[in-house]
A and B are shown apart, each in its own frame.
Chain A
Amino acid sequence: MRKKPVSKVEIRSFNKPVNLFFNVLIAVFALSCVLPFLFVVAISLSNETALAAHGYSFWPKELSIFGYTYLFDQMQDKIFQALFVTVLVTLVGTLINSTATSLYAYVISRSNFPFRRFFTVFCLITMLFSPGMVANYLVMTNLLQLKDTIWALILPMAVSPFNIIVMRTFFKRSVSESIIESARIDGASEMRIFIQIVLPLAVPGIATISLFAALGYWNDWFNALLYIQKDSLVPLQYLLMKIQNNIQYLTQNAGASSQLSGGMAAIPGESARMAIVVISTLPIAISYPFFQKYFVKGLTIGGVKE
């Protein structure tokens, strides 16, 4: 009798109905993530008057790229300036964040580092106790004098304690003590060990925390709200926030609108606002797939405890 070739191992898989159930479940979940964004795209491509008359719909009643042309004509300077600030802050910030985080995490992951415990607790404390907004504001404006500088957007998020803890576990799991030992025997310095041996082994982890950092920087508007006055330093998300807040203020103070409208800049229509959302979300959404291959590895190993 000839042996049958094994085409699939089915030991660990679900049986068909269960499999189908979970597939549907995940599909629904995935759709619920994607649909709102598609909806936004649809609104941004709709005709303003059609929107007012018929409300929102997935299939624009009348296609129009007015939202986008409005942005390019009316808000061109603001939008591109803000986009530049956001990109700059994200790039530099991610660079600083991932460098600082992995350096800190590496040091406290090494068992022969004498102040390991102190620095771990030091980092944990900042994670557990928050000093509050006012204290942050005082440090940033009075102590560091960073108000209205680009550093006010970068430095508050330059080190994230949570990522440090994730990376510390990651280093411990993926870089064994013995490989560091053997490198030292071969005569490598600490710096060389870190750069040439530890870092290449930790790429998935670093890629993961870099994505976290990049997302954080890209989406941040609160630091801009607190520290930025100058128009030239306003990031994209804050610009969007500002428009949204203005609209809310205007509708909530409807009674005073004749007086307010004297000083309120023209508010872009619905489709233009959605166009800003698309422009501000798309770049970071596109960067996702490039990090994805590291994702599973980076997160699970970082999350497992010894």
Chain B
Amino acid sequence: MKTWKKVVGLSTAVVLLGALTACGGGSKEKTDGSSKKADENTLLMYQIGDKPDNYDALMEVANKRIEEKTGAKLNIQYIGWGDYKKKMSVIVSSGENYDIAFADSYVPNAQKGAFADLTELAPKFAKDAYDQLDEAYIKGNLVDGKLYAFPVNGNVYSQQVLTFNKQYLDKYNLSIDDIKTYKDAESVLKTFHEKEPNIAAFAIGQGFKAQGDFDFPIGNDYPFAVDLNGDTKKIINQYENKDFMDVLKTMHKWYQAGYIPSDAATSNTEFPLEGNTWFIRQETQGPYDYGDTILSNAAGQELVSKAFTTPLKSSDQARMANFVVSNTSKNKEKAVEVLGQINSDPELLNGLVWGIEGEAWEKIPNKDGKIKLLDGYKPNTHLPAWNTGNNKILYTQDTITDEMIKERDESIAKAETSPILGFNFVTSNVKTEMSNIANVMSQYLDGLNTGTVDPEETVPKLKEALDNAGYDKVLTEMQKQYDEFLKK
């Protein structure tokens, strides 16, 4: 045998193994080191999203504060937006030991007993933050009468808006003052499409849902809805509702006229907010958006919106961002205490959401709760407000006036509460039918909502398919549970 071959082979193997142990070994020491302490006072928290670039610096400031107040430390592990669902389901079903997590599949997991019961813990260990929550938050997060999550106080109500790209409105001198429904937008769409046929006039894609004044007990992927303008004690199929049919017809008309991209039903094309590849998009807005302020900030260009649904406090909004404490956690009380701290301590929360004080922002002297952004305020060097903590205690930029804040609080008080807030449908009796219906819907949803198919032909087909899938059985069961819920 040729010796050099042996030598080369052996040495590569050695080098590779060396590199391997360097990588693996190093990381292991670190995790071992922290996990030993972790049992005592570091809480493991799973959060959705991208890890901020300056995570270490942010957390150093935050942990100092948290440790001072509660004696615990926080270790936030980020899981990507798209991967969160998949990974959390494995983590939950494997019974892994973690403390806090951004809730995923909240109701089913709570019913399974994966999360700690916070009904008594939250008012006790996070009193300050708990008291600041809107009633709708508590009611919307109840599962079988118990609270399993600590919600982030933010957009408690929401409404659907059509958002217009201001640069095009100005360029073609279009007025949007009278727009109150989808239909009203038709004339501006028409003019725009004639002028700029290559730009998506109504920028939608796969997963788009046409909206009306409905609330949905199990999400708008399913054909079960409560008509907020009709009998709110009845659960109906929104695809049989006349108003919604009109909306679908409008969509189809727009699709045929070319206002909607021709591949909308299957396309994942992204229309960046800051870009100019779109004219109208559909957004969800709530009180803490301060009109179009937040949206325009995110876009870096002026956008204007027109609302077309009534503002509604719904379960979806109450569970928009809610944090659960794992039943496997050894430090449940500490975890609740830390959650309470994040949601009630302005210094801590603002340090996370706006970035590092003095670097990314500074307080404006003599003005309470107002800040000025500095050059250090960059994307991805702070946490998003909606899924971090209580928006009420956030400092605001000086562009947001006291009047806007007053308006915000009034609008929250005025917003309607959904009749099905807090209603959780228990599917155990109709599991087969539910999955049949899900199959049927996945076949029709995108086509109908994006206007790709003609609703007058397709909706009857959908109804027939739903009947075969056992729609009536589920509807009866849901109505029964809903009646019981209403009696309470």
- The chain A residues found within 8 Å of chain B, CB to CB, are 52-54, 88, 91-92, 95, 133-134, 137-138, 141-142, 145, 147-151, 196, 225-226, 229-233, 241-242, 244-267
Interfacial residues of chain B within 6-25, with CB under 8 A of chain A in the complex:
13, 16-17, 19-20, 23-24
Residues in A with CB closer than 8 Å to B50 are 246, 263-265
Q: Is the CB of A260 within 8 A of B20?
A: no
Closest 7 CB pairs of A and B: A245-B82, A263-B384, A252-B207, A262-B384, A255-B284, A249-B81, A258-B295
Task: Please choose the segment from B119-127, B242-250, B265-273, B472-480 that sits at the chain A interface, where 4 or more of its residues have CB less than 8 A away.
Answer: B265-273
CB of B94 within 8 A of CB of A255, answer no
**A245 and B80 form a contact (CB under 8 A):** yes
Docked-complex contact B207 and A254, CB < 8 angstroms: yes
Q: In the complex, which residues of chain A have a beta carbon less than 8 angstroms from the beta carbon of B283?
A: 254-255, 257-258
The verdict on A267 contacting B13 (CB below 8 Å), with A225-B86, A248-B82, A249-B82 known, is no
CB nearest to B32 among chain A residues: A145
- Residues of A within 8 Å of B439, CB to CB, are none
Contact yes or no, B198 A53, CB < 8 A: yes
Q: Which residues of the other chain, B, contact A92 by a CB distance below 8 angstroms?
A: 16-17, 20
Q: How far is the CB of A100 from chain B (nearest CB, A)?
A: 14
Interface mask (B88-132 → A, CB under 8 Å = 1, otherwise 0): 001101101000000000000000000000000000000000000
Q: Which single member of B27, B277, B383 contacts A230 (CB below 8 Å)?
A: B27
Closest to B275 in A: A52
- Total cross-chain contacts (CB, 8 A): 140
Bound CA–CA A196/B206 (angstroms): 59
Q: Is B260 an interface residue, CB under 8 A from the partner?
A: no
Contact A134/B273 with A95-B13, A255-B160, A263-B384 known, Cβ cut-off 8 Å: no
| A/B interface sample: 20 pairs, CB < 8 A | A88-B19, A88-B23, A133-B90, A148-B27, A196-B1, A226-B90, A242-B82, A245-B83, A246-B50, A248-B82, A248-B268, A251-B206, A254-B281, A258-B273, A258-B283, A261-B298, A262-B298, A264-B50, A265-B50, A265-B379
Q: Complex formed: what's the CA distance from A141 to B19 in Å?
A: 22
Task: Verify A149–B82 contact, CB threshold 8 A.
Answer: no
Would you call B90 and A246 a contact (CB within 8 A)? no
**What residue of chain A has the Cβ atom nearest to residue B296's Cβ?**
A258
CB-nearest residue of chain A relative to B211? A255
Given A151-B24, A258-B295, A265-B379: A245 and B386 interface contact (C-beta under 8 Å) = no
Closest chain A CB from B322 CB (angstroms): 15
User: Which residues of chain B are within 8 angstroms of A247 by Cβ–Cβ distance?
Assistant: 82, 268, 270
- A254-B282, A257-B298, A259-B385 provided; 18 other pairs, C-beta below 8 A? A92-B16, A133-B90, A137-B91, A150-B23, A241-B83, A242-B83, A245-B82, A247-B270, A251-B206, A254-B207, A256-B284, A257-B273, A258-B283, A259-B386, A262-B382, A262-B385, A264-B49, A264-B81
